[in-house]
Amino acid sequence: MSWIDATQAPTALEAALAHRPELLARYRAFYGSFWADGLVPRRVLELCRLRVAAIHDCESEWLLRDAEVNLDADEQERLRAGEVEGFTGPERAALALAEQIPYGHHQVTDAQVEVATAAFGEPACVSLLTALAFFDVTCRLRLVLDLPAEPGVLDAPPLSNGALA
């Protein structure tokens, strides 16, 4: 059971944030921008979001899936275990950064950022790093709020309707 009483909202996270409607609106708008700006491939965002969730052992984030990305069972199993073989080069570059963000941000190397920049370009690398930091924040928020773990397929994870106009 969560520490915070739920309000009416489509997902547990939004129900908690809905105690501050303006905060929820701005959270949605910012978080959804990673999917809306199209700089980082949607599949890469999904891989990294789930890897960060696995590192945190955050089941409420792990159980959410992007409606437009279909990871097969083997990919999901390898993500959970942190095994990157079989993913593409750019995906591995992004996952290498995702691996460091929760507990090893000081160990991120120049070489790792260079590889990611070469794979995606500078604007996309900035978008990716910002998204990774926010994936980490979101898991921490979910865990501290002790939100229930409920499977879901969402348009712009982890929120039900993504960015606001």
Interface residues with other proteins (CB under 8 A) are: 20, 22-23, 26-27, 29-30, 33-34, 36-37, 39, 105-106, 108-110, 113-114, 117, 122-123, 125-127, 130, 163
The phi and psi torsions of 86 (rounded to 5 degrees) equal 100, -20
Nearest distance from C-beta of residue 25 to other proteins, angstroms: 9
Contacts of 133 (CB under 8 A, 6+ apart): 101
Q: Which of 30, 4, 29 is nearest to 17 (CA)?
A: 4
Coil, helix or strand for 72? coil
**Residue 64 belongs to what H/E stretch?**
strand 64-66
Closest CB to other proteins among 70 and 105?
Answer: 105
Closest CB to other proteins among 79 and 129?
Answer: 129
Nearest distance from C-beta of residue 56 to other proteins, angstroms: 16
Contacts 24+ apart (CB under 8 A), 111-115: none
Say if residues 147 and 16 touch (Cβ distance below 8 Å): yes
Nearest distance from C-beta of residue 17 to other proteins, angstroms: 11
Name the one residue in this structure whose structure tokens are 């939100």.
147
Closest CB to other proteins among 15 and 79?
Answer: 15
Coil, helix or strand for 161? coil
Nearest distance from C-beta of residue 80 to other proteins, angstroms: 26
Closest CB to other proteins among 76 and 117?
Answer: 117
Closest CB to other proteins among 1 and 111?
Answer: 111
Nearest distance from C-beta of residue 153 to other proteins, angstroms: 24
